Structure formats: C-alpha cells, structure tokens
C-alpha cells in the first residue's frame, strides 16, 4: 500500500510540473523551475536521513511537516519571509492540483491550503525620475555595439514597462517599425499584448538591427551578450547596475535608490500616471490582469506629493514666521531535468 501511495505522489508531481503548469496554466519555464525547486526542497526535508524520496506518500506531506519545513527555511537556510511565502505558494498550488485530481486526498489538501503565509513588510518601490533616467541614458558610451545595445535596451524598457523576461525573449520579428510603430510582448501565462513605441525607440531599434546585421523579420533573440548568446535576466540586471553606478557620480540621488530591472517598469507606470494616463490604460500597457495591481502606483505618486508638501510651509506658518519511481534518484533526476 505504501508503494502505491508513493507512486500516486510521484505521478502527481510529474503531471503537475510536466503537464498542468506548462499546458493548462501556461506558466513560464522560470516559474515552473521555481515550483520544482520548492517541491524538491520539501521532499528532501521530509525524507531527511531516514529514507528515500521515492518512499514518500502524499500523506507524508502533512501540514505539520510542511510548517516544520517552512520554519527550517528561515532558521537554517536564512530565508526571509518573502522567500518562505514563495515556497509555500508552490506547495499550495501543488496541493490544489492534488485535491482536484485525487479526490481521496481532498481533506489533506484542504488542511495544507490552510497553512498561512507570513506577513511581509513591503519596501517602498524605488523608481527613476525623468532627470535621473536622462543622466543614465546620456552616460552610456554609444561608440561600441554593446553601448548601443545598452542604450536601446534601457530606452525600450522604459518606453514599454516590459518585464525583464519579456525583454530577453524579444525577437526583431516582434516589432512593427512602420507607422504606427509597436511591439508584441508575451507576458505571464503567455498573454499577448501590443505596446506602442516612441519614434526615438524605433530609430534606436533600427540602428541596432543594422549594427548587428539583422533584418526586421529576424526570428532570433534581439538582445545578445558579448558571446552572441541571448541576453539573460541576470545580464540585464548587470547592465542596468553598471550604468546606474556610473550615473550616480553625477546624480547623487541614485546612490540612495535600490534600482533593478523591475524599477524601470515602476518608472514607466509612474511616468504615465503623472502624464495623466488613466489607470485602465496603464494596466493594459503593463499587462496587468487587474487594475487593482496598478493602483499601487497611485500610492507612489501621492507619497511623492506628500514629501514635496512636507518641505513647504503652509501659508499660515509663513505669515507667522513590495512512470512510477522505484528509487529516489529517479525522482530527483527527473525534477532536475525540467
């Protein structure tokens, strides 16, 4: 009976990661890998030194053991509450699937889904003011192909507010460079959206394609590293960090900001908001599934106004002065291969 229940867990894991997430939920490869890593850590923790992962059953993944695993992440692995919640989110998603596909485990799935997330204190969102972005872009050395790549990369990210994964997946064929110019982006869940482009962005893209000897219908990744391979998310972060660090010498306000690729997305949203664009349009621009997500940028803008107001004395004062598995190695090898 134990072998049968262990097989149930193995099959559920395989279908969840190999079929359900990529095909039914259309999750990105990065999200699936994150879920895989979370579930792998959980299995290894529960198996411990007393047995093999292949011997575990769904029943072994009890709420008490899952809670112990989450505590272990914080106490022993040094993970913060946000990382703990990411791991728990993957576990919740898996048990939601298990309860749906295996009704005999509905009761346990319900109890696991009741394991609560930890409250996280969200940092204020850092974004770039127009003058800060201008100093960053003006400081890029465009005499080299990589410099021109960095210029079009950062300009494009601010123009579109695209997520970094959407940017590294771009191809020349995704652009419409004729009037009216636009780009096709594929967001979370492979949701497609069209974003308009500034004439300045179009000219930079055209020049970059000419420099790299590619046509407008080229189907290979648009942004490449110095080895000619597709630029990675980590590569985009390094590029941005390098230029922000350089610009901070001329713009001291950049030294106090925690700027990363998503900051450009925030900057786009705030820029659109301050320009009078309505929240519904901004939500479509950024690919938000709900306008509720976009509302956080209203808070950002209001906070900036409050800070400005605090520096100005009121008139009265002026007057007065964020397959079956037989061995644990087979299961772990399959998880690693995803």
Active site residues: 163, 188, 262, 265, 288, 297
- Looking up tokens 């869940």, which residue turns up? 189
CA distance 219 to 187: 18
CA distance 213 to 269: 33
Residues 6+ positions from 32 with CB-CB distance below 8 Å: 17, 21, 22, 338
């Amino acid at each position: 009976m134990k072998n049968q229940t262990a097989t149930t867990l193995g099959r559920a894991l395989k279908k969840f990661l190999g079929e359900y997430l990529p095909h039914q939920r259309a999750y990105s490869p990065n999200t699936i890998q994150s879920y895989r890593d979370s579930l792998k850590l959980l299995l290894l923790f529960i198996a411990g030194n007393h047995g093999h992962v292949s011997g575990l059953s769904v029943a072994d993944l009890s709420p008490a053991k899952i809670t112990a695993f989450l505590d272990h992440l914080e106490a022993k692995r040094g993970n913060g509450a946000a990382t703990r919640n990411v791991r728990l989110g993957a576990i919740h998603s898996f048990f939601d699937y298990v309860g749906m596909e295996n009704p005999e485990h509905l009761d346990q799935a319900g109890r696991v889904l009741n394991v609560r997330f930890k409250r996280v204190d969200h940092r204020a969102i850092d974004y770039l003011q127009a003058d800060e972005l201008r100093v960053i872009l003006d400081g890029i050395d465009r005499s080299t192909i990589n410099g021109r790549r960095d210029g079009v990369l950062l300009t494009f990210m601010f123009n579109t507010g695209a997520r970094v994964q959407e940017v590294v997946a771009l191809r020349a064929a995704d652009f419409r460079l004729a009037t009216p110019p636009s780009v096709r982006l594929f967001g979370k869940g492979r949701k497609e959206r069209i974003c308009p482009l500034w004439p300045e962005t179009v000219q930079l893209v055209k020049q970059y394609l000419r420099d790299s000897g590619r046509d407008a219908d080229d189907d290979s990744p648009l942004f490449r590293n110095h080895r000619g391979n597709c630029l990675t998310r980590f590569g985009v972060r390094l590029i941005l960090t390098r230029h922000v660090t350089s610009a901070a010498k001329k713009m001291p306000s950049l030294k106090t900001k925690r700027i990363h690729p998503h900051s450009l997305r925030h900057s786009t949203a705030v820029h659109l908001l301050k320009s009078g664009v309505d929240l519904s349009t901004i939500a479509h621009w950024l690919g938000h599934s709900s306008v509720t997500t976009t509302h956080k940028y209203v808070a950002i803008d209001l906070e900036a106004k409050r800070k400005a107001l605090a520096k100005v004395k009121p008139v009265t004062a002026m007057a007065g002065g964020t397959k079956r598995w037989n061995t644990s190695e087979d299961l772990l090898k399959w998880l690693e291969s995803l």
